[in-house]
Amino acid sequence: MSDVVVKVSEVMQTELVMVDGLASVREAVAVMERHKVSSLVIERRQAGDEYGVVTVHDIAGKVIGMNRSTNRTSVYQIMTKPALTVYSDMNVRYALRMLSSFSINRALVLRDDELVGLVTMRDMVTGYIQRTEPT
């Protein structure tokens, strides 16, 4: 068992793609396609508000699978809010446990209560193994 601590900040994605909650699902998909991502962060409406997240999984199940219009459905209607957050200095092992316990694949990353990134289960698993297992 490795004693190496891998922090979330070492494996997170720092380039966040954000969209307004009032954007249509069709607009959101265009943004996803343009940036080659499978999730978007939904901007906060005001101070004290929480961030949301919308994923292709949300769009598949809550819009396409339910035969809803991609033009008339806003991301606000289907997003997950509040999004699960972890701190950048958190040990990846604990972040993985938390995401697993909620059956969630991604979390927003905070440093001093400021949004600094996004981390996925894949990011954490591959990053952890690369940093702790001998090759």
Domain boundary assignment for the chain: 8-132
pLDDT of 1 > 70? The answer is: no
pTM (2 d.p.): 0.89
Task: Provide the residue type at 119 as one letter.
Answer: V
Instruction: Kindly indicate whether the domain formed by 8-132 is annotated with CATH number 3.90.320.10.
Output: no
Cβ contact 98:84 at 8 Å: yes
pLDDT band at 47; cut points 50, 70, 90? confident
Torsions phi, psi of 35, nearest 5?
A: -100, 0
